[in-house]
Structures are given as structure tokens and as C-alpha cells.
Structure 1
Amino acid sequence: MAAMALITSSLISCPNPNIHQLKPNLLPRSLKQSLSLRKPERKQLVSRICCSTANKPDFSSTAKIRSEVLSPFRSVRMFFYLAFAASATLGGLIAFTQLIGALSNPSRAVGVLDILKGLGIDLAAVLLFAFLYTRENSAKNAQLEKLSREESLSNLRLRVDEKKVIPVSALRGVARLVILVGPSSFLVESFRRSKPFTEALLDRAVLVVPFATDGDKPDFEFEEDDEPRNKRLWQLTPVYTSEWARWIEEQKKLANVPIDSPVYLSLRMDGRVRGSGVGYPPWNAFVAQLPPMKGMWSGILDGMDGRVL
């Protein structure tokens, strides 16, 4: 047992295990053959064995908890799918042994049809529950990937003013962010198109996050008679732009959108993505779809920001 533990600990450590120190008389024949390989080949073999699981997605505990909250009965369903599939598999094995006995004994040949019927039902049940489990597991992984991307977005930083920098997550329950990505000319034109809806957007707690992909700082020209409140719509600025650029590039690749295309993303009050598109954001649609944060509709329609994409 001590020898096997030594072998296992030596193989599991990915960074260049010192295999030469193992005693040859303690090793099985297959492992001796592996050790007889040349050093480059041995390194490649060990790294392939040890690091085969490195590409598996590693979801954070926060994403897993949020997934459980959003789909509380998924784990129960997956458990029962596995249990029913295991039960059907066991029944199929029993039916298969009975079928072999019936075929080898002519006196029991009368019951072959019933055995085949039961075996077919068991096989169909195994396939059905395996399909249901696979579909549920795929949906779970897709949801976890989406939540992980949203968690990465929530960790990105924004500058509110010269002295205050906050993460995106700090605005959950406070504001509905609209992220604009494109060259400075696209951002300036989006700013111009938003002017007629400034008051209505602010009443709906909409804040814009402009991200210039060409490195130029957009020049938003506010009029002299604009109130300070109206400037709040465009006061947020992304910080650590390399992290923002990496996250945006990943989203474009997932959506099969060209990297240089100007896009917008609309977030719900809870920080989840409610809408996105290529081109200029539909400010009038935001005003029509989002409920105001004040007045008779406040409280009743909180969180009614549309379905999550």
C-alpha cells in the first residue's frame, strides 16, 4: 500500500515528478515500460495523464449557489434520473440472464417473448433516463457558464468620479446599466440619440457605460443649460480597460459577432443581461419597456426588466 501511495503521489503532481527515485522492483510491469521511455516522451506521457482534466471548467461557489437558487429542483431531478436509469439497467441485466437461460433450455422457450418484452422496456427506460439526465446536465453547465460570465462582469471596475471606483456588482439593485462598445464616433452618436430620452432613462435608473474600442476618449458635449442630474446618465467610465476588452471579446465570440462591430448590452436591475444587439441602442424601447423607479409603479414592478438572455 505504501508503494502504491508513493506511485500515485508521484504521478498526480503535474510539474515534473521525479520518477527516477522510484524503486523498479516496486513497480508493475506496465509502469516499468513507461519508465523505460526516453525523458521527453516520459514527460509528455506524465503531463498527458496528470493534466487531462485541466480544461474542465471550474465554476465558482457563487455561480453554483446562484444556479441552485434559479433551478432548485434540478439536482433532485438529476438524482432520480440516475436512480431510475440504474434500476432499469439492473432489470435489464436480470432479464438478459433469464433470456440466456430460456434459450439454452427448450422447456423454458415459451417465456422468451415475455422476457424480450421486459428487456426491451428496460433498455428503453435506460435510454430515456440517460437522455433526460444528459439534457439536464447540459442545461446546468450552460447556466453555470452564463452565471460565471455575469460574475466576471460584476467584478469589472467602474469610475464614478475622480475619487470613487466601484465594481459593477455595487450597482445591483440600484441601476440598470447599458454597456456601449465601439469606436468613439459610435459612442458620440449614441450620446446624441439619447438626449431626447435623458429624463425618462434616468427615471428608470438607466446608466450608460461607454467603452471606446479605438482608444480615443469620446467627447460628450453637454449643453450649458443641462442640469447636473442629466450628466449622470453618462458619468460612468470603465477602469482597467484590458479586463473589459477581454470580457467583451469573449461575449462577441460566443455570440458570433465580428470583433470590430459596435454593440450594446442592457443589464437588468439584478445585474443579469436582459438584451443585446449590434448597432445603436434603442433608447425609445428602453423607455417603453422598463418601469420607472418612482411613482405608483415603484415597488410593484421592481425587477420586471425582461427575461434573461
Structure 2
Amino acid sequence: MFFYIAFIASAGLGGLIATTQLIGALANSSRASEIPDTLKNLGIDFGAVSLFAFLYFQENKSKNAQVARLSREENLSNLKLRVDKKRIIPVSSFRGIARLVICAGPASYVTESFKLSEPLTESLLDRGVLVVPFVTDGNLPTLEFEESEELKPPGARRKRLWQLAPVFISEWSEWIDQQKKMAGVSSESPVYLSLRLDGRVRGSGVGYPPWNALVAQLPPVKGMWTGLLDGFDGRV
């Protein structure tokens, strides 16, 4: 961006000199032969100023968007989650440990998301996925787990996948509403956000989380891939 400003200043100075030369040539008929070259130089300088000004503003816009995105992600990392009856920790504590998927919508939406994830429970957990259900209508979703976790391990695995719960609901609601507003999404629309291992937002959208796509695209968090692909969860 510094060089863009320098090029703009240089071309602007050249344009100013070319303008004075053009005025002098127009005022003096004996210098009429200089007009074509002067106009050519003035056009080049004007084009250079326009080009580098455009590049500067594009770069500045991109920088501001990146800063805003990082700020939103930092605010997200400070939101709190309840892990169990005794532990409340911020989202940032899951960096390098789990890939959170936030499901925000009415209780019926959360219930259906729960049902759609059931066939892929093992695969999602193998990839470090943990779900954060955020209910927006004040009702309770129907999340049916097996009663005896010891006798029926699948029930325990399902409960582990869906064990997290948002704390300080007003802060969560404010953050999600801001994201919807910036994305031009209706405040009533159910949405999902998936995070990478490094805590950055990997993807988001309206509707149900793409459980199948997550399983297909994400590497396991155990075995030979542990550490090697941390954070390489696709485009941000």
C-alpha cells in the first residue's frame, strides 16, 4: 500500500508537469508540435493515477474486511460454553482440540440437525467435531440419548457429540445476529457455522449443517494425520 501511494504521488506530479506544459503549448503557437506528446504523457500519468488508486482502495477494502473478520472471530472465541455441570470454558479453549459446529435456530431446527447427524456420529467424532446447539425460540429441542451409557455406548457417543451448551445466551444471540446482518440473512433464518481446528470460521450457511461434506472433507484428528493437518480444514 505504501508503494501504491508513492506511485500515485509520482504519477500525479508527472501529470501536473504535463498539464503545465500543455497549457504553455496551447498558449504558444510555436510549440504546437509538442501538444500530441504532452497529451500522450498526460494520458499515461492519468491512467497510472487511476490504476494505482484503484489498487490501493481494493487493498484497503480487503484489509478492512480481514480485520473485521478477525475481530468477529476473536469475539466468538471469547463466548462461553458449558462442557458439563462443573466446567464452563471459552470457545478459544477448543483450539487445536475440536472443530466446533454451531447450529443456531428454533428448537425444531436443532432437533432435525440432531437426527441428521445420527448416522455419522462416529465419523464426526473421529474428525474432532463437536456440536454447539443454540436454540433461538426459547423452546427445548428433542435430543434423545440412550438412557444407559454403560450398556449402550452409541448413546454415550451421541451425547458427547452434542454435549456442549452455550452460556450467557444474550452474548451468543448478539454475535449471531451480527453475523446474519452482515451476511444479509434474515434474523429468523436457521444457520450453521463450522470452525477449523485453529478456531477460525471454516464455513457457514443457511439451513442444516452439511454433515456428509464435513466427514468427506475433514481429516481425522487421530493417527498419522494428527498435527500435520491441524488447521488445514479447507478455505476460510
Task: Verify same fold: TM over 0.5.
Answer: yes
Q: State which of 121, 124, 146 in structure 2 corresponds to 1:198.
A: 121
Partner of 1:299: 227
Distance 1:229 1:187 in 2: 18
Once the two structures are TM-superposed, the CA of residue 230 in structure 1 deviates from its matched residue by 4.2
Distance 1:109 1:281 in 2: 71
Partner of 2:112: 189
Higher mean C-alpha deviation, range 86-95 or range 292-301 = 292-301
| Structure 2 residues not aligned, in runs of 5+ | none
Q: Deviations over 1:47-74 (max 9, x none)?
A: xxxxxxxxxxxxxxxxxxxxxxxxxxxx
Partner of 2:71: 148
Amino acid aligned to 1:226: P
Distance 1:193 1:95 in 2: 69
1:222 to 2:131 alignment = no
| Structure 1 residues not aligned, in runs of 5+ | 1-77
Rg: which structure is higher? 1
Partner of 2:183: 255
Number of positions where the alignment pairs a residue of Structure 1 with one of Structure 2: 231
RMSD (CA atoms):
1.5
Distance 2:185 2:133 in 1: 19
Partner of 2:18: 95
Higher mean C-alpha deviation, range 185-194 or range 282-291 = 185-194
1:280 to 2:208 alignment = yes
Q: Which has the higher contact order (CA 8 A, sep 6+)?
A: 2
Q: Deviations over 1:67-101 (max 9, x none)?
A: xxxxxxxxxxx111110010000011111111222
Amino acid aligned to 1:133: Y
Amino acid aligned to 2:100: L
Assess if the C-alpha contact under 8 Å between 2:118 and 2:158 holds in 1. no
1:167 to 2:90 alignment = yes
Identity of aligned residues (%): 69
1:235 to 2:163 alignment = yes
Once the two structures are TM-superposed, the CA of residue 229 in structure 1 deviates from its matched residue by 4.6
Runs of 4+ in 1 over 6 A off after TM superposition: none
Q: Describe the SS at the equivalent of 2:205.
A: strand
Q: Describe the SS at the equivalent of 1:296.
A: helix
Q: Deviations over 1:22-66 (max 9, x none)?
A: xxxxxxxxxxxxxxxxxxxxxxxxxxxxxxxxxxxxxxxxxxxxx
Once the two structures are TM-superposed, the CA of residue 289 in structure 1 deviates from its matched residue by 1.0
Distance 1:96 1:255 in 2: 46
TM-score (norm 1): 0.71
Assess if the C-alpha contact under 8 Å between 2:73 and 2:200 holds in 1. yes
Partner of 1:132: 55
Q: Deviations over 1:100-136 (max 9, x none)?
A: 2222222222212211111111111111111111111
1:266-277 alignment, distance < 5 Å: 266-277=194-205
Q: State which of 177, 181, 204 in structure 1 corresponds to 2:100.
A: 177
Amino acid aligned to 1:198: T
Once the two structures are TM-superposed, the CA of residue 175 in structure 1 deviates from its matched residue by 0.8
